[in-house]
């Protein structure tokens, strides 16, 4: 699986540079629009570091894309069948959470993502990551806490949450065991 992650990281680095170059932006332009430092963007584009989920959301938002939209551009798959061994996998270097793109096609309005959140880890994503999508989260194993603004949801195996309007959201595994969940997203 590490080969799949490394290969996808290379494609993601190339896609970020193509998005920036296609807009005629310098590193400074993208840094100003995203709030991510020029040095960090440069390292990401050279695939010297793997960006965190929060950094990827900031970069995608600067391009007026969702995280899923950016991932789609990095790894568009031409077939209708998404084979398990070919699904892009990415690991967040800060939290260690593993994101598998189960299904994503540019001509289909729905995508599926599987996430493994390690014990005692969390990630907070800004409201901008939900602007162009609607999503549901379905817990497969373990327990997950979702914090949408002031609202807190405690989810266990089989529980499903339909997300509300775009708001900063925290995904937290507050237990000593890993948690696996599926996210279904529809572009609006």
pLDDT of res. 147: 97
Which CATH superfamily hosts domain 2-74? lambda repressor-like DNA-binding domains (1.10.260.40)
Q: What is the pLDDT along the chain (188 residues), one digit of tens a residue?
A: 454 556 777 888 888 998 898 889 999 999 999 999 999 999 999 989 889 889 998 999 898 887 877 887 787 655 678 889 988 898 999 999 999 989 877 667 788 999 999 999 999 998 887 777 889 999 999 999 999 999 999 999 999 999 989 999 999 999 999 999 999 998 76
Which residues of the chain form CATH 1.10.260.40? 2-74
> What is the Cα 24 distance to its own chain's centre?
25
Q: What is the CATH number of domain 84-187?
A: 2.60.120.10
In the chain, residues under CATH classification 2.60.120.10 are: 84-187
């Amino acid at each position: 699986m590490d080969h799949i992650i490394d290969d996808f990281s290379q494609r993601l680095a190339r896609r970020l540079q193509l998005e920036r170059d296609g807009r005629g932006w310098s590193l400074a332009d993208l840094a100003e629009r995203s709030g991510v430092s020029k040095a960090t963007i440069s390292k990401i584009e050279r695939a010297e570091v793997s960006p965190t989920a929060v950094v990827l959301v900031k970069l995608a938002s600067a391009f007026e894309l969702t995280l899923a939209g950016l991932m789609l551009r990095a790894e568009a798959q031409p077939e209708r069948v998404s084979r398990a061994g070919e699904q892009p996998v990415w690991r967040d270097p800060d939290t260690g959470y593993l994101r598998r793109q189960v299904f994503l096609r540019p001509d289909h309005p729905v995508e599926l993502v599987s996430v493994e959140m390690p014990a005692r880890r969390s990630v907070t994503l800004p409201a901008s990551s939900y602007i162009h999508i609607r999503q549901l989260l379905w817990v497969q194993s373990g327990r997950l806490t979702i914090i949408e603004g002031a609202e807190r949801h405690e989810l266990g195996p089989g529980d499903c949450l339909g997300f509300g309007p775009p708001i900063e959201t925290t995904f937290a595994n507050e237990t000593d065991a890993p948690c696996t969940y599926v996210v279904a997203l529809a572009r609006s």
